[in-house]
Amino acid sequence: MYRSYYRILGLIGQGQFGRVFCAVDRQTGEIVALKDLELKRFPTHKFLREISYLLTLKHPNIVGCTGLEYNRTGRYVVMDYCEGGTLRDLINSQEQLSLKQKLNLVEDILSGLAHAHSRQIIHCDIKPENILLKLKPSSWSAHISDFGIARLIEEINSQSGGYTGSPAYMAPERFYGKHSFASDLYAVGIILFELLVGYRPFSGYPGELMTAHLSKTVTIPNTIPPLLSSIIEKALRKLPQRRFKSTEEMLKSVRLASETLGFNSSSVQLFTSLSSVPNATSLNIIHQVSLPQRVSHLAVDKQCVYLGIEDKLCCQIYPDSSLVGKPQEWQVPLKGSLVKLFSHSQGCLTVTDSPVNEGSCISYFRKSHDAGQIFQQQQVCVSRLNQISAIAPGGHWLAFISSSQVLQFLKLPNLERVKTSINCSIDSQLVTLDSRHGMIINSAEEKKPKTQFTLLTRRGNLWRFFSLSISLHSLVSNSHLPDQIFALEVSEKILGILINLKPLKVTRIPLEIKPDFILGQPWGFLLASRQGKVILLGIRGEKLGGFQVEEEITAMAFYDQFRLLMATDYQSEKRLYFINLEEKLANKIYLNSNSNTLS
């Protein structure tokens, strides 16, 4: 039986001629795009035509073809993968790109088109959906895809059997089956208008769009700088011979406008503005309690709340998981300073740094309802921990990286060492994905920023997965959504990075706070700073809301989908808040998500 070289991770797009999948090379771990061109809709002669174009075009701003894949179910074109989604995704996002970033993307499109035109190829379907994005430090690069209806300039007078393409971006002559290099430049002019103004110059049904492109004058708002207005006006002229004479001419005009407007500095901001965080006046506080000391760590499992207070572990057991009523309370001393606290189905785990040596202790505490106490059952002392993951979902194992740069596994709850060890970089970061898998992440900032993701199994097997051309830190996986990771980008600005693994999609999110707490939930992520600002992000990275409190936040933990524990410290008063976020989130979650996660 034939076995494909690639494992499909998910569907990323579907067009009139077929589907596009995200896939991973089974041997190298490289992420690729597999374009499935259905034989009925895309016959062999058209398939060979697109392949010939792709093999002819080799340019940094054109999605490249790396091979062909045939199997029982069909044929695939193997292409470069662009993890940043499409330009349409970026246009539709909540945040407004800076003018410099918009012009950079248009320059990329024109650079790719200039190469295609130099090979006598007209794309014929330039639109935001066909412009794919890759991340680079604090920015994106744009890449032209889908040459499925591209034509050669020598075919300019051939009969095409009617127009094909996207009416919103089609030049007037395209509606009569004609095409030229200037037709592509007209489409770029529409994209430039949409990026700058926020909407397309013409809208409506296909017939209405055709009439508008053929006869209506484009109205350019006077808020657009004159240099850019003149570029749009020239690109969108009705007669192709009156537009830019070449792609290089339009590219030169865009670059000149960018330089003249003062955007030749690499420090220009990525986004123009950020939404503000509302205050906590509408926050639904279920109840609050005073604390005798500052709480540095919180963990919850059903009706049990664990609080890390300096060198003590406190346990509160409530009548049920609603955490209402008077709890039973116990506390036990800890040997060393607490650096990590995990809840577990039978108790909790602590990680402490020894005050007398360079080691760390991992301790397992089991709760006993009958005895009315919590007691230490197991303890393992290791060299000082550099990175420690969250417990694997299901609580069967724990992985950590010691200062000796070795990755080790412990079975839970007995803290039994697994006889395997893997050498890691001292800067390696570690997250767990599900009960069987985790991921080692290595970021490099020197010379060329890069972050490498390596998949690992609980048996210690490694599999090189993918890399990004940016440096990341503070990675946190979402235990409720195992294929989702949130991270912060190494940048002068505060930028969040949301990574969906299946299929791979990376979304950059500008943040107005540098989060000290990152908590995953079925609806997305909660981000909070110690200064009291909290942001709520949906599963696609959209901002669902937030709030701000006056106190310093010292610890946070969820005890169900919408209910949050928040420990604070304000003017020597320590408090523990029980907060209900359901009213703040519920409507927005269901409006913004088609996910079945919250059913």
Pairing of strands 504-510, 347-353: unpaired
Sign of CA dihedral 545, 550, 554, 556: negative
Q: Which residues pair with 235 in a beta bridge?
A: none
Where do the DSSP E strands lie in 26-173?
31-37, 65-71, 74-80, 121-122, 131-136, 139-144, 151-152
Give the residue among 377, 583, 557, 567 at the shortest CA–CA distance from 479: 557
Distance CA 113, CA 35 (A): 21
Residue 143 in contact with residue 133, Cβ under 8 Å?
yes
Alpha-carbon distances of 426 from 350, 384, 405, rounded to whole Å: 22, 12, 5
The tokens for 105 are 């993307």
Beta bridge partners of 291: 574
Q: In whole angstroms, give the CA distance from residue 348 to residue 332.
A: 12
Amino acid at 166: S
* 186, 238 contact by CB (below 8 A): no
d(Cα 466, Cα 462) in Å, to the nearest integer?
Answer: 13
Answer for the pair 436, 457: CB distance below 8 angstroms, yes or no: yes
35 is an annotated ligand-binding site residue: yes
Instruction: Return the closest-CA partner of residue 310 out of 290, 326, 332.
Output: 332
List the one residue out of 593, 590, 529, 582 whose CA is nearest residue 282. 582
Q: Which two tokens stand for residue 251?
A: 């590219």
**Nearest Cα to 176, choosing from 210, 203, 150, 204?**
210
Which is nearest to 95 in space by CA: 585, 518, 498?
A: 498
- Residue 367 one-letter amino acid: K
Q: Are 20 and 126 in contact (CB under 8 A)?
A: no
Residue 474 burial by CB count (10 A; 0-12/13-18/19+): exposed, middle or buried? middle
> Residue 204 in contact with residue 212, Cβ under 8 Å?
yes
User: Between helices 99-118 and 247-260, what is the axis angle to 10°?
Assistant: 160
- What Rg, from alpha-carbon coordinates, does the chain have? 28
Q: Which residues belong to the annotated binding site?
A: 35
Instruction: Output the known binding site for ATP.
Output: 35
